[in-house]
Amino acid sequence: MFIEPHIAGVKRGWIEVICGSMFSGKTEELIRRLRRARIANQQVEIFKPAIDTRYREKEIVSHDENIIVSTPVENAEAILQLCGGADVIGIDEAQFFDREIVSVCNKLALQGMRVIVAGLDMDYTGKSFGLMPELLSVAEYITKLHAICVKCGNIANYSYRKTTADKQIVLGEKNIYEPRCRYCFQLKD
């Protein structure tokens, strides 16, 4: 694909990734950035994976109950079809999207859009989650957020699963997960 060199006045896009453990404020930060874009009279479109039905079907909801309307989509390619003439694209729970999410984010940025993506960087086992490592590698801006460990009060960057379920994707919140620091994550209690 040929990309024209920088031309004065031409809108250039980029990718921002917000990552961290559960309860670190990723969705809250995504909502904050999207609201600021709206205050600046920018056209904003927001998407989430249809699989994420924890709170509300057509809204992104942070754990502290901040809410913003979104469009649930079955796959990443659908975002390209639905983004219209947006200036800013918000994508929540990126770790749940299919392999095309990186390509879609790159295409949107090349079309001059600001793409803000939020997601878990690690799963409940402490391993990379979904395509998040690839999104992090192509992003111009990365924000890593931390929660507070429920066991010792230190900075937490792991999502500890309190159940014995062994599937990678198990939707839940405080009833199933808790934030833990590196040391307390290793304690299997």
Active-site residue list: 93
Q: Three-state SS for 95? A: helix
| Residue that has been written with the tokens 């808790």 in this structure | 178
Q: Output phi, psi for 175, to 5 deg.
A: -70, -20
- CA 143, 105, 85, 12 dihedral sign is positive
Both tokens of residue 5?
């060199």
**Residue pointed to by tokens 């929660």:** 147
Three-class SS state of 173: coil
Tell me the residue type at 14. W
